Amino acid sequence: MVKILVAGFKGRMGHTTVEMVLNHPGFELVGVYDPHSIEKNLNEINEFSELDVPAYHQLSDIATGKVEVWIDFTSPKAVFENVKFALEHHISPVVGTTGLKDEQVAQLQRIAKKNQVGGLIAPNFGISAVLLMQFAKQAAKYLPDVEIIEMHHDKKLDAPSGTALNTAKMIAEIRSEHYQGNPDETEVLPGARGANFQGMRIHSVRLPGYVAHEQVLFGGPGEALTIRQDSFDRSSFMSGVAVAVSKIGKQHELLVGLENLL
């Protein structure tokens, strides 16, 4: 049984993760964490009334010796310190929280390497999203003019999404940076052309009713290609989280991208 702590258990993704862990025969929930919660035990929530799982409000209170994997669905402001804490206590982090900066990821990777602790930061745990990024990278070899549109619910804190940014980074590995569009174009409204990542444009949509969706649009002389994925329910991410939790104990470094474990 893999002993798991879920950080951010009061959020929508955290709540879905708690349910997944409880229903998985190979996982054991040994703790939950949220600095903004008031519960001292998960059984104070009606639907979990028959459980006995401690709920922590401070990192320093966590019984780290009982935890093997730390699943993090918190916030961009909290995720770095959370993952740093886990790695320093030899707990393998499985991170779905977006918003980490490149230099923060590099620092966390150094800590993981020093402590020989495996971990994973995944911009998206949906299998369809992982495949989209792989397909987009392949397509960019032949159609280097590309724009990305990502669509999420209106409560999302960061823009662009981690998935969209990671898609752009993967495309950039094989695409030479260049300007797209009319070099004399003018934005009548600032920002109309979206964020610029090495010549690629990324557009972020935030609307109620959406969960997580992405389109990668490629254009070439006389043709176009659109690759799209849709996550209609947060449960779609759980199969990827379960795979990561099951495999991360065999790693000795902090990986970025679920594709590294598939």
Residue 9 annotated as part of some ligand binding site: yes
Known catalytic residue at 141: no
Residue 124 annotated as part of some ligand binding site: yes
Residue 39 annotated as part of some ligand binding site: yes
Residue 122 annotated as part of some ligand binding site: yes
What is the distance between the alpha carbons of residues 231 and 235, in angstroms, rounded to a whole number? 9
C-alpha closest to that of 24 among 243, 250, 217, 185 = 243
What is the distance between the alpha carbons of residues 112 and 98, in angstroms, rounded to a whole number? 19
Residue 23 annotated as part of some ligand binding site: no
Residue 54 annotated as part of some ligand binding site: no
Residue 200 annotated as part of some ligand binding site: no
Angle at 72 between CA 66 and CA 75, to 5 degrees: 140
* Token pair belonging to 100: 């980490």
| Contact present, 127 and 239 (Cβ < 8 Å) | yes
C-alpha closest to that of 219 among 245, 262, 168, 181 = 181
Residue 101 annotated as part of some ligand binding site: no
| Contact present, 7 and 73 (Cβ < 8 Å) | yes
Which residue of the set 15, 152, 203, 213 is catalytic? 152
Residue 175 annotated as part of some ligand binding site: no
Which strands form 145-152's sheet, in the order they lie side by side? 195-197, 200-206, 145-152, 212-220, 223-231
Residue 98 annotated as part of some ligand binding site: yes
| Contact present, 66 and 43 (Cβ < 8 Å) | no
Residue 259 annotated as part of some ligand binding site: no
Which residue of the set 3, 57, 84, 156 is catalytic? 156
Residue 40 annotated as part of some ligand binding site: yes
Residue 14 annotated as part of some ligand binding site: no
Known catalytic residue at 152: yes
For residue 4, CA distances in Å to 32, 115, 140, 155, 181 come to 9, 19, 39, 27, 48
Residue list for the binding site for (S)-2,3,4,5-tetrahydrodipicolinate: 153, 162-163
Residue list for the binding site: 8-13, 39-40, 96-98, 122-125, 153, 162-163
Residue list for the binding site for NADP(+): 40
The residues annotated as belonging to the active site are 152, 156
